[in-house]
Structure 1
């Protein structure tokens, strides 16, 4: 079996905010078709790392490489233009708009020559994607506010999938969901591997981490404690790495 190409490399990443060190000497690589889980207690630095990869923050030092090229994103939109998408806990969906307008939020399709919104094509494309990913919603014309938490999360992940060509970052994607909806969203995340995307997921649920991930990276107070192949570790080892208690 040929090894998948490396999509993202973080080398010796360091991030300070004034006198506070948020991340120190962090290195990680992510391959296409791989799910890596980032775990650690609150304040460990997980969200700071996601924000550096997605262009919200700049590393104080260290290097980010995408497809083996050094990158320095000016902002989140420059990271998006390189095929990196983020799904945050709060989803960033427009509640009063239909699904298809959310799918193309900020990237609306227009008709020539007058620049009118091509709502029909956006609706058709959105419907095709939610059908393909098996996101169970009434239709792509449904208004976001009428959907359940799991359906909304499904739309946020579908949107990221539509626009991401390289990497999807998931920040606690099922934190606010019940058991059945969590299972549904986990199925959706697992299906993204087949699309050859690299996926980095932050999760507090070790059950979820062991279900979905290929590797687990542990952070504690901004320091990288270690990386384990999921199949070669167990919850006890990961918990002791997170807490520092053996």
Structure 2
């Protein structure tokens, strides 16, 4: 975690109402630059709803959102992306018939110089060179840039999705990366590759929030765990020194909340 007293992302007093149902109840959460925060909870605890608030997909009923100390009002995911927040969904949102380089540059294609560029022709060679340089910087080793995503393994696809978002948030301001179950359905070796990439992204100053059911992943890569139960925050603890049985108790509700009711 980098030395910075201002959170990269800070949510205060977040509430989300659906009619008479309160999906999120007065949630405070923050993540510092270079910090990995695991967001845990049972099904229906509010994790996905909170992640959607962070990503701009849902506008909260109450509460405030700050990015690097600046208050924000997100009306769509594009607003969050403009503020430096990238979301990697569980379905990865990759274009499978296209190659790795095209997926990494989706929406930010490099145009050819001269008249062809004015007509919208992309410079695929330049995109491949820049993609290889970015993956080298992230320490990623995957298939050749020209290989279609549909020919990649599940772990390779996950790495491509993570790398694409990391490239987009790794500017001067250091962005925020939101990950939804990044190791779901991956084998041991593929999971280790993803863990290594998360650690390298955090080391470069990227703030990362992970929604996951995978406790071993939390203990491997996260600095802190925030646990929700029925829409309320019931624990906010450092990973180091926190007993796993306590974590399971907070998730299931058998252990009392750290916070006053």
Instruction: Classify the secondary structure of the residue corresponding to 1:115.
Output: coil
SS, match of residue 58 in structure 1? coil
User: 2:165: which partner in 1?
Assistant: 160
User: Residues 3 and 77 from structure 1, CA distance in 2 versus in 1: closer, same or farther, beyond 3 angstroms?
Assistant: closer
Which residue of structure 2 lines up, in the alignment, with residue 35 of structure 1? 36
Partner Cα separation in structure 1 for residue 83 and residue 184 of structure 2: 28
Of 109, 120, 141, 1:136 maps to 141
User: What RMSD in Å do the two structures reach over aligned CA positions?
Assistant: 1.4
Q: Which residue matches 2:190?
A: 181
1:45 is matched with 46
Give the TM-score taking structure 2 as reference length. Answer: 0.90
CA distance in 2, matches of 1:227, 1:219: 9
Asked if structure 1 preserves the Cα contact closer than 8 Å seen for 2:6 and 2:69, the reply is: no
Q: Structure 1, unaligned stretches of length 5 or more?
A: none
DSSP-derived class of the 1:116 partner: coil
Q: How many positions carry a matched residue from both structures? A: 246
Asked if residue 89 in structure 1 is aligned to residue 90 in structure 2, the reply is yes
Alignment match of 1:213 (pick from 222, 226, 229): 222
Q: What is the Cα deviation at residue 82 of structure 1?
A: 1.4
* Alignment partners' CA distance in 1, 2:32 and 2:139: 25
- TM-score under structure 1 length normalisation: 0.96
For residues 1-246 of structure 1, what are the structure 2 equivalents within 5 Å? Answer: 2-111=3-112, 112-164=117-169, 165-246=174-255
Structure 2: runs of 5+ lacking an equivalent: 256-261
Tell me the distance in 2 between the aligned counterparts of 1:134 and 1:193. 13
Give 1:9 deviation, angstroms: 0.7
Offset of 1:196 from its aligned partner?
A: 0.3
Q: Secondary structure at the match of 2:118?
A: coil
> How far does the alpha carbon of each residue in 1:156-195 deviate from its partner, in whole angstroms, 9 at most, with x for none?
0000100014100011000010111011111111111111
Q: Note if contact 2:4-2:33 (Cα within 8 Å) is conserved in structure 1.
A: no
More strand by share: 1
Residue-by-residue CA offset, 1:72-127 (whole Å, 9 max, x unaligned): 11211111111111111110000000011111112222234333112121111111
Q: Deviations over 1:28-74 (max 9, x none)?
A: 11110100100000111111111111110000000001111110112
Alpha carbons 1:136, 1:151 under 8 Å: kept: no
Q: Which whole-Å CA distance do the structure 1 matches of 2:118 and 2:41 have between them?
A: 52
Deviation at 1:4, TM superposition (A): 4.7
8 Å contact kept, 2:139–2:200: no
